[in-house]
Amino acid sequence: MSSVFCRIPVMANRRKTSRHEGPGGFISSCGAKARAFSRGMEIDGVVVSAGKREAAASTAMGTVRVRGVVPGDRIRIRISHAGVNETWGKAVAIIEPSPERVVERCSAAGACGGCPWQAWELAAQRREKARRLMEALSQAGTVHGTVEEIRGAGDGFGCRNKILLAAGGSAGSLKLGLYVPRTHKLIPAEACPVHAPAGAEAVRGIERVLDGFRIAPWDERRRTGTLRSALVRVAPETGRIGVVLMIREWPLKAGPVIGRRMLGIPGVVSVHASHNPDPGAAFPGTPPRLIAGTRRIEVRVRGTAWLLSPSTFFQTNGAALPLLVDAVGMALPERVGVLADLYAGAGLFALSFARRAEQVVAVEADREAVSDLRASADLNGLRNVRTIEGDAAASLSGLHAPDAVVLDPPRAGIPAPLVKRIAEWRPSRIVYVSCSLDALARDLIRFRNAGFSVLRAMPVDMFPHTPHLETVVSLVPG
């Protein structure tokens, strides 16, 4: 049994008895004067919930939010923030580890925040995700459909093909990494086990190239430096890598030379730069400009190819991506007349299933994604794909009723007017792909009220070691 981040000691199982000892061995507030949490105090607790971001530990004085612990852990907590609504703490010792605790592969797992469930065994993670999915479907009154087991790829490591890192260190000794949540403390990402190995190697190559040019990281306090962050994307199946450098100064000095050097990093075929003069924000910036290599990188999934620009959204788990495509394919009819793909992005589903349809209509608001979709359709020789650039809820006035609809909206879900419009079409099948159980439950209630019921729910673990879950739901009239 391992310790957690910062080598939290696993203590011998010691328990103090008291006439006020309550269930689980905690001091009860009954019969004793209630105390308030204060910063720096230490208290014992039991982790009762994995939570959405941080776990919840039950103590004699109330609930404390703690990172890097597992349901069932009995822990010693040092209070770091005592707020009006929530109290936060840090686990300084594990008194008794949960039977579901496993050895983390990353020593920074408890601090980084990127994989809050990494110390929890994968099977237990998926049981909890399945429970949350059933709860969401129950709230929507739609559990009568078939709910399948969660599909997942491997052990959930080495799968993340999009890596966004902030810059730290110094000129000549650059470090790319991740911020500790709610801080500007940087954790180097050199050994992140979730990143695709080719992407991790590219990160080290980028650091070496930029160190050769003495590129300094942006220092927010001193208002000096050049590099804000770097984005690395590894294309599934092809292994081609695109790099975007987010820079404070424009243009990037020696930019073309730096770009050409980066093309020498194994797998790198495209290097862009983006300008962000904002002294505070590290990541958003101007549209990326090509400085070396190709404008797009080629991605392949299940025999279909996509050409992706740096800013175009595409799923980030390369290992599980085929499982997601398969789930949508199982939810769709084998043959369909007109297929509408709303929130189409680069056309992941529009192109994957274009050969099943007489015509595909792909609706997407992002102009760059629409351009990529059209280029990808040409690359695959698909002549039955029509694109509409615009918001899905406001760009459908000229669209005739499709036979089937695929929806893959942002985390917030879809607006009520769009549900109404889709219901008016009365398609034989609606396939809703959601990464938010809250939004999914809300929108399924709307579809139920509009006369549709759930036929099947197929969850896919696109975000292992986190609370998030991708779910493919098929709905039919009636």
CA atoms within 13 A on the CB side of 109: 25
Residue 256, classed as helix, strand or coil, is: helix
For 429, residues 6+ apart whose C-beta sits below 8 A from its C-beta are 331, 332, 333, 336, 403, 404, 405, 474, 475, 476
Catalytic residue among 115, 159, 192, 435: 435
Q: Is the peptide bond before 266 cis (omega within 30 degrees of 0)?
A: no
Tell me if 51 sits within 8 A of 65, measured CB to CB.
Answer: yes
Q: Give the N- to C-terminal CA distance of the chain in Å, as an integer.
A: 51
Cα distances (Å, whole numbers) of residue 77 to 10, 45, 203, 234: 13, 7, 35, 39
Rounded Cα–Cα distance for residues 246 and 282 (Å): 8
**Sign of the dihedral defined by the CA atoms of residues 397, 398, 404, 408, in that order:** negative
Rounded Cα–Cα distance for residues 439 and 136 (Å): 9
Count of Cβ atoms closer than 10 Å to residue 281 Cβ: 12
Active-site residue flag, 192: no
Angle of helix 197-212 versus helix 255-262 axis, rounded to 10: 140
Please give the biggest Cα pair distance in the chain. 78
Please give the positions annotated as active site. Answer: 435
